[in-house]
Each structure stands twice: as C-alpha cells, then as structure tokens.
C-alpha cells in the first residue's frame, strides 16, 4: 500500500527531536511494508506572515502551500495520509477538502502531539490557538482518526487511536556507567518553555544548599536553549548555585552522550499543569529511558500505570519546590543496593525497547490502516 506523510516544517534533515521522530515514523511505516511519500511544507515565520494568520480570506505563504500541497499528487494511488497536525486554520480545512474530494476512500489520520491544545502556548501563539478553535470543530468532517498520546476516546468528535510517544532504540546508545561518589548528577535536555517547570527543581536545589548538613552533592546539567533559560540563570544567581548547575547549551552526538554518561537521573516535565495538561507522553522521557536513566516527572505519564516499575518518581503537579531529600531517597533506593549500575541501565533500556520503541508505538496505527474500518 502507498501512503503519504504530511508535515508543516519543511524537510526533516535537521537534528531536532521532531525531525528525528518524523524520520523514525516514516522508517517504521516502511518496515511495515508501506511505500511512503513525504510531503513537507516550509513554515515561514516572520511578523508579516504571522499577522496574515489573523486576516480573513488572506493566506500567508505557509497556508497557501498547505492548501495546494497535494495538487501535483494523484491521491487515488494512496491508501492513507498521516498528518502531523499543523496550526489549525481555514487553509487546513481547505487542504483536507481537496484530499477527500480527490479520493473518497483515503484514510485521513491526524496526529495531535499535545491535547488539549489551548493552554500550552503563551503570547501570540496562544492567540493563534484560540483562533484555530473554530477550525478544529470542523475536522470531524474530513479526518477519520486522531492519533493521541492522551487517554481520550474522542477528540473533536473524532475517534482516537491511543498510543505513546516513542524513541528509536536503534539510534540511541545506552549511557555508560559512572562512579560519582556522593555526587548525584541530574540532566534535562529540552527547548525550555514555561511549562517545563524546571525552576521548581532549581529552587529546590537552592533551599537544599542553604542547609549545611546536606548529605549529597546534587549537580544539574541543563542541556539546550529556550525562552526560560534567562529565568533559570537568575534563580541560579539568586541562590548562589553557580557551582552546582551547568548551562551547556545545545549538544548533539558524542558531545551530548558525554554528558549523559555522567548522569544518573533525568527530569521529565515539571510544569505541565501550567498549560492545563495533567497527562503527558513526552518524546524526551522516552529518550531518557532509552539511555538507561531513571526519571522524575511532575506530570502523569505512562509510567504511572506501571506500578511495579522502580525507576520512576512522581512529584506533585503544582508550583512547589522539588524536595531534594526526596530526590536523594529515590536515588538511594535505585543505586544503593545489590544491583550494579550496568544492570540498572540495562533493565531500563530493555523496558524502553519493550514499551517505547517506534515499532511498538505505531502498531495501533498500522492495525487501523490494515483494517476494514473507515
């Protein structure tokens, strides 16, 4: 069967986490026997193009390209189209109309990376999300299934395919083990936004280091860039944490692996409640598992349902400081027992392979494509 994969974001040749995910999804579709054609639309971002989002009957460059994305493709030759949902707008509906009129039998599947949508963004991006609400109410006229990482049975009146975000275990190496003595190295790798909430961890560190009788040294590697970095740096300065926090910027490949090798705990999102999201399946959390790292999360994830999984800690979904004593206790329960660090990392990675590999995550989508359901 032939399939189409559509994304607003141009090509997938960069090393961003979303580009890697798309390439891995396409690879998994191909391994399942489908011939996949990638259709990418460049997302031009400047002030004039952004203003056009709000003008009725005026489409910006990206919107125009989206409407005509399939004009040169005979969609009758394709059994399904997988769409990573772009920002909702009237051109999205126009594109779906053209798809459906071109092939009434094609299965239109749309992945919604985060649900609910409204609440995740701030500023102009938040206005765009609210503006798109009327568009989302029309999606059920054209979309057959929504792929979701939430627990919803229906989204915008459309039946869902529930799955999990995944990692490509073939391309992610397990971290090397280290001996840090009484030092606990913690890592986040992210594009830091307000809902990541790592200010909670930094303030918890600040309170911990006020106590002269502290038991362990906690050191935090902040990998990546984002709008919250300046706030994080101010917290570090205010609490005099310069000797315990490293802002290393963006790192990839061997440079990133070197930092992973030093660390023994990883932080998933700590502030999703700020965007009114209380269940989240993050890409980064799956990569942490693939590396062999225990995870601390401030939002409910798939791991909350794994009651006997020992390498996961949940903290409250609020703005309270993270208690470093709880972090130390979690670390001690994992690493201060009979199992070696190699055994622990191997167990976590094996769990990731069984639960979060792309072949596992796309299985329910492939089951739907192969079924007689419409």
Domain ranges of the chain: 2-166+358-370, 183-355
**Mean pLDDT, rounded, for 267-293:** 94
Asked whether residue 325 carries a pLDDT value surpassing 70, the answer given is: yes
Q: How confident is the model at residue 57 (pLDDT cuts 50, 70, 90)?
A: low
Cite the DSSP H helix spans in the chain: 17-31, 47-52, 61-67, 90-102, 123-131, 133-136, 199-208, 229-239, 253-262, 283-291, 324-335, 341-355, 358-361, 363-370
CA distances to 105, 141, 217, 325 from 372, rounded to whole Å, are 11, 19, 58, 54
Q: Is 108 helix (H, G, I), strand (E, B) or coil?
A: strand
Q: Which residue has the higher pLDDT, 257 or 123?
A: 257
Contact 146, 112 (CB under 8 A): yes
The contacts of residue 51 (CB under 8 Å, 6+ apart) are: none
Contact 34, 27 (CB under 8 A): no
Per-residue pLDDT band at 53 (split at 50, 70, 90): low
Q: Are 186 and 226 in contact (CB under 8 A)?
A: no
- The mean per-residue pLDDT over the stretch 52-66 comes to 71
Distance CA 199, CA 191 (A): 14
Q: How confident is the model at residue 113 (pLDDT cuts 50, 70, 90)?
A: confident
pLDDT tens profile 329-340: 999 999 988 899
* pLDDT given at position 226: 95
CATH fold for the domain made of 183-355: Rossmann fold (3.40.50)
Q: How far is it, in rounded angstroms, from Cα 290 to Cα 367?
A: 25
- Give the separation between CA 318 and CA 299, rounded to whole angstroms: 9
Where does residue 104 rank: exposed (0-12), middle (13-18), buried (19+ CB within 10 A)? exposed
Phi, psi of 250 (to 5 degrees): -75, 135
Helices (H) and strands (E) in the chain, counts: 14, 13
Strands (E), 77-172: 80-84, 107-112, 145-148, 154-155, 158-162
Instruction: Give the residue with greater pLDDT, 58 vs 175.
Output: 175
Dist CA 178 CA 186 (whole Å): 13
Residue for token pair 């190295």 = 185
The model's pLDDT over 218-268, given as tens digits with 9 standing for 90+, comes to: 999 999 999 999 999 999 999 999 999 999 999 989 999 999 999 999 999
**Per-residue pLDDT at 312:** 98
Asked if pLDDT for residue 74 goes beyond 90, the answer is: yes
**Distance separating alpha carbons of residues 235 and 242, to the nearest angstrom:** 10
What pLDDT, on a 0 to 100 scale, did the predictor assign at position 127? 57
| CA–CA gap between residue 318 and residue 278 (Å, rounded) | 10
Determine the CATH number of domain 2-166+358-370: 3.40.50.2300
Say if 2-166+358-370 and 183-355 have the same CATH topology.
Answer: yes
Q: Which two tokens stand for residue 138?
A: 């029309």
């Amino acid at each position: 069967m032939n399939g189409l994969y559509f994304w607003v974001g141009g090509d997938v040749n960069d090393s961003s986490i979303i580009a890697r995910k798309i390439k891995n999804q396409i690879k998994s579709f191909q391994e399942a026997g489908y011939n996949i054609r990638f259709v990418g639309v460049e997302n031009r971002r400047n002030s004039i193009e952004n203003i056009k989002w709000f003008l009725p009957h005026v489409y910006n460059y990206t919107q125009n390209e989206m409407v005509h994305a399939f004009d040169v493709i005979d969609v009758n030759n394709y059994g399904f189209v997988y769409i990573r949902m772009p920002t909702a707008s009237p051109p999205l509906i126009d594109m779906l109309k053209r798809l459906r009129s071109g092939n009434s039998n094609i299965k239109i599947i749309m992945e919604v990376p985060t649900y609910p949508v409204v609440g995740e963004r701030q500023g102009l991006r938040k206005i765009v999300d609210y503006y798109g609400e009327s568009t989302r109410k029309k999606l059920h006229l054209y979309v057959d299934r929504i792929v979701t990482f939430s627990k919803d049975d229906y989204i915008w009146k459309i039946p869902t395919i529930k799955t999990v975000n995944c990692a490509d275990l073939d391309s992610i190496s397990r971290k090397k083990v280290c001996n840090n003595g009484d030092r606990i190295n913690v890592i986040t790798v992210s594009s830091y936004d307000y809902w990541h909430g790592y200010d909670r961890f930094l303030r918890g560190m600040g309170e911990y280091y006020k106590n002269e009788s502290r038991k362990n040294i906690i050191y935090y590697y902040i990998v990546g860039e984002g709008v919250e970095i300046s706030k994080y740096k101010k917290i570090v300065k205010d609490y005099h944490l310069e000797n315990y926090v490293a802002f290393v910027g963006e790192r990839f490949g061997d440079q990133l692996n070197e930092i992973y090798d030093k660390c023994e705990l990883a932080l998933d999102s700590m502030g999703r409640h700020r965007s009114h999201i209380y269940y989240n399946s993050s890409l980064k959390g799956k990569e942490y598992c693939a590396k062999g790292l225990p995870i601390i999360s401030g939002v409910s994830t798939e791991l909350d349902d794994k009651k006997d999984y020992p390498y996961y800690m949940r903290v409250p979904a609020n703005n309270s400081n993270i208690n470093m004593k709880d972090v130390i206790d979690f670390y001690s329960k994992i690493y201060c027992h009979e199992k070696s660090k190699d055994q622990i990392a191997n167990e976590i990675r094996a769990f990731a392979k069984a639960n979060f590999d792309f072949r596992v995550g796309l299985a329910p989508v492939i089951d739907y494509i192969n079924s007689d359901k419409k």
